[in-house]
Structure 1
Amino acid sequence: MNTQNSQYNENTQAVLLLSTFFSKPKKGEARPLTAIEYGRFARWLHEFNFTPSSLFHQFDEILSKWKDPKGKITADRLNEILARKAAMGLALEKWQRAGIWLITRQDSEYPQLLKKQLRHISPPVFFGVGNKALLQKGGLAVIGSRGIDNIDEEFTQNIAIQAAKENINIVSGAARGVDETAMLASLNAGGSAIGVMADSLLKAATASKWRKHLQNQQLVLISSFYPEAGFSVGNAMARNKYIYTAANAALVVRADEGKGGTWAGAIENKENQWVPLFVKHQSDASGNIMLLNNGAVPLDLESNKDFWLTKKLASSNGINTVNNQANNLKLFD
């Protein structure tokens, strides 16, 4: 193992090898375990008093007992993905030079709200850059289409600026459209944000639009996918749940009924009851109308009221912890 990466103990190395790509996958090579597969295997290891690092020392013993009920996690596959230590060392060294760190489910810095909600299907690893402490702050997830008009853009900016005033963290996907608009509006107003990315974390780590906010400790960008992963619809859909569960409440600015990641994420949240769902009220978007008709809470901009956003979110038990001023208002008694 590269000495520069000796900071990672055997267990972290094993988790990485089991769950992470280190470069673009090649045809025919064994794939690391998905989050669901890893969860299934990790639970079994725990039940039999093994850890992921036990695979380095007791591989034959473990595989003599392990039988995957789905038939996917085989001895050959595990052998191949565990043999990638050299590739892991090179990749970690490259990513570290760009300021990228990693946390596993066992680390205290791992987003605890997300872990509590998703439990065994939580990603085994998050890669990230920026202020790790923000991962425990929760906040308001702001979600919407990539293509938005001026009205939705202005609404998103105003919500994010208000959130910054009330010390409510913004959680979003750092993608073009609503996500990026919300994050940048909050950050430029002195607020904070978590960006849960589906791809290209390495590029984002050095992007000019995020650099100042990363340096100012206002921002953390994370991804459950390896830092050089390109865009895929599957990854974008998979990370929806991480945006919702890293927050205390969610706001859909614009959704089209029956299609797109915004709609899929809102339905997934409704089915799992992760967090209260708010929806922009004054909208002709088909998804907004349908979500409101099915129990989502309407949200309109308000003015000339102190902490109106905190009060609105608190009314649905959305934000449980805000700044001291809001707490002094005894919103949660």
Structure 2
Amino acid sequence: MNNQNNLYSENTQAVLLLSTFFSKPKKEEARPLTAIEYGRFARWLHESSYTPSSLFHHFDEITTKWKDPKGKITADRLSGILDRKAAMGLALEKWQRAGIWVITRQDSEYPQLLKKQLKYISPSVFFGVGNKALLQQSGLAIIGSRSIDEADEQFTQAIAQQAAQESINIVSGAARGVDETAMLASLNAGGTAIGIMADNLLKAATASKWRKHLQNEQLVLISSFYPEAGFSVGNAMARNKYIYTAANSALVVRADEGKGGTWAGAKENNENNWVPLFVKQRSNASGNIALLTNGANPLELQQTSGPWLAKTLSAGQLINANNLQPNNLSLFE
């Protein structure tokens, strides 16, 4: 095996091969398993007393026993996927030079709250850069549109700064608009943040706006997609659930009813009742109005110098069970 591959356990290598691209996909290449496919196959492996690395030693035995109910994960496809060790070694070497590390679902550093919520549909692997310990801190997810006005920007900054003062970790998507505004406001105020990215982790790992905070161990950036992945709507939508489930409360600053990733993420959260949902109350945004009408917790800045945000979030957790039951989801049906 490539020397770079030897830095990782056989199991980590197997998980990477099964679930990860190492460059821009080519038509003729075997495609790694999707998150849903990997979850289905990994569950069967576990129930059959195998690990992913067992494929290196008992491939014929496993593929003889395995029958994919969907007919997608065939022996030929698995063989092609596993025959990419050279490409994996080159990619891992390049990514490691930028400080990027890898954690799998079996690793203790993996975000445990997310894993508990999503179980077998949690990502098989996260690529990341920065302080891994932050992944266990949960916190407040702040989500919103890429295009925001001055009032939304000031609100986002003030909430994030208050969170920093109260040592509440920020979880967001590191995208332009609300996400980036919230993360940088918290970081610049001495707080911490988890950025869960849908694209271009490699570029972000060396970006000047994040570099100081990565060096100060205030920040961790992670992605379930390979570090050079470009933007896609599908990846961004898939990433929504990771932001919510890595946190213990969520705040929507601005959403448009019926469209966009912010609305889709709020809908998915409410359908699954992952975390209490707060929404900026003083807003003319159609999504904010609809979410509040449907029982989301209103949130506005409080004119006090003392701590108030943690108390507000805790109160929302107490009433969450009443507000977000399936019979109160008519807005999304």
The TM-score with structure 1 as length reference comes to 0.94
* Cα separation, 2, equivalents of 1:80 and 1:274: 37
**In 1, are the aligned partners of 2:5 and 2:13 still within 8 Å (CA)?**
no
Aligned residue number for residue 22 of structure 2: 22
Aligned residue number for residue 198 of structure 1: 198
Aligned residue number for residue 183 of structure 1: 183
Superposition deviation, residue 305 in structure 1: 4.8
Q: Which amino acid aligns with 1:174?
A: A
Superposition deviation, residue 253 in structure 1: 0.1
Superposition deviation, residue 304 in structure 1: 1.3
Alignment partner of 2:73: what SS?
Answer: coil
Aligned residue number for residue 98 of structure 1: 98
* Cα separation, 1, equivalents of 2:313 and 2:211: 30
Q: Which amino acid aligns with 2:212?
A: K
Q: Which amino acid aligns with 1:87?
A: A
RMSD, aligned α-carbons: 0.8
Alignment partner of 1:283: what SS?
Answer: coil
* Cα separation, 2, equivalents of 1:70 and 1:277: 35
Q: Which amino acid aligns with 1:243?
A: I
Superposition deviation, residue 4 in structure 1: 3.1
Aligned residue number for residue 164 of structure 1: 164
**In 1, are the aligned partners of 2:200 and 2:227 still within 8 Å (CA)?**
yes
- Structure 1 outlier segments of 4+, above 4 Å: none
* Cα separation, 2, equivalents of 1:50 and 1:102: 22
* Cα separation, 1, equivalents of 2:188 and 2:48: 50
Aligned residue number for residue 313 of structure 1: 313
Listed one character per residue, the Cα deviations across residues 146-183 of structure 1 (whole Å, up to 9, x for unaligned) are 00000000000000000000000000000000000000
Q: Which amino acid aligns with 2:69?
A: P
Which deviates the most, 20-29 or 238-247?
20-29
* Cα separation, 1, equivalents of 2:244 and 2:87: 33
Superposition deviation, residue 30 in structure 1: 1.6
Alignment partner of 2:247: what SS?
Answer: coil
Superposition deviation, residue 317 in structure 1: 2.4
Aligned residue number for residue 109 of structure 1: 109
Q: Which amino acid aligns with 1:14?
A: A
* Cα separation, 2, equivalents of 1:178 and 1:300: 16
Aligned residue number for residue 218 of structure 2: 218
Alignment partner of 1:129: what SS?
Answer: strand
Alignment partner of 2:227: what SS?
Answer: coil
Superposition deviation, residue 300 in structure 1: 0.5
Q: Which amino acid aligns with 2:123?
A: P
Q: Which amino acid aligns with 1:307?
A: P
* Cα separation, 1, equivalents of 2:302 and 2:173: 25
Aligned residue number for residue 40 of structure 1: 40
Matched, 1:82 2:98: no
Q: Which amino acid aligns with 1:15?
A: V
Alignment partner of 2:194: what SS?
Answer: strand
Aligned residue number for residue 245 of structure 1: 245
Listed one character per residue, the Cα deviations across residues 121-149 of structure 1 (whole Å, up to 9, x for unaligned) are 00000000000000000000000000000
Superposition deviation, residue 8 in structure 1: 0.7
Aligned residue number for residue 296 of structure 1: 296
Matched, 1:134 2:134: yes
Aligned residue number for residue 330 of structure 2: none
* Cα separation, 2, equivalents of 1:262 and 1:312: 22
Q: Which amino acid aligns with 1:149?
A: D
* Cα separation, 1, equivalents of 2:192 and 2:103: 20
* Cα separation, 2, equivalents of 1:178 and 1:70: 39
**In 1, are the aligned partners of 2:5 and 2:88 still within 8 Å (CA)?**
no
Listed one character per residue, the Cα deviations across residues 239-264 of structure 1 (whole Å, up to 9, x for unaligned) are 00000000010000000000000000
* Cα separation, 2, equivalents of 1:303 and 1:288: 22
Aligned residue number for residue 236 of structure 1: 236
Q: Which amino acid aligns with 1:222?
A: I
Alignment partner of 1:133: what SS?
Answer: helix
Alignment partner of 1:230: what SS?
Answer: coil
Q: How many residues align?
A: 318
Aligned residue number for residue 11 of structure 1: 11
* Cα separation, 2, equivalents of 1:132 and 1:95: 17
Aligned residue number for residue 324 of structure 2: none
Aligned residue number for residue 57 of structure 1: 57
Superposition deviation, residue 87 in structure 1: 0.3
Listed one character per residue, the Cα deviations across residues 3-36 of structure 1 (whole Å, up to 9, x for unaligned) are 2331211111000000000000001322101111
Aligned residue number for residue 275 of structure 1: 275
* Cα separation, 2, equivalents of 1:114 and 1:29: 31
Superposition deviation, residue 96 in structure 1: 0.4
* Cα separation, 2, equivalents of 1:108 and 1:190: 26
Alignment partner of 2:190: what SS?
Answer: coil
* Cα separation, 1, equivalents of 2:154 and 2:257: 22
Aligned residue number for residue 323 of structure 2: none
Percent identity over the alignment?
82
* Cα separation, 1, equivalents of 2:213 and 2:48: 45
Q: Which amino acid aligns with 2:203?
A: K
Q: Which amino acid aligns with 1:253?
A: V
**In 1, are the aligned partners of 2:42 and 2:52 still within 8 Å (CA)?**
yes
Q: Which amino acid aligns with 1:283?
A: S
Aligned residue number for residue 173 of structure 1: 173
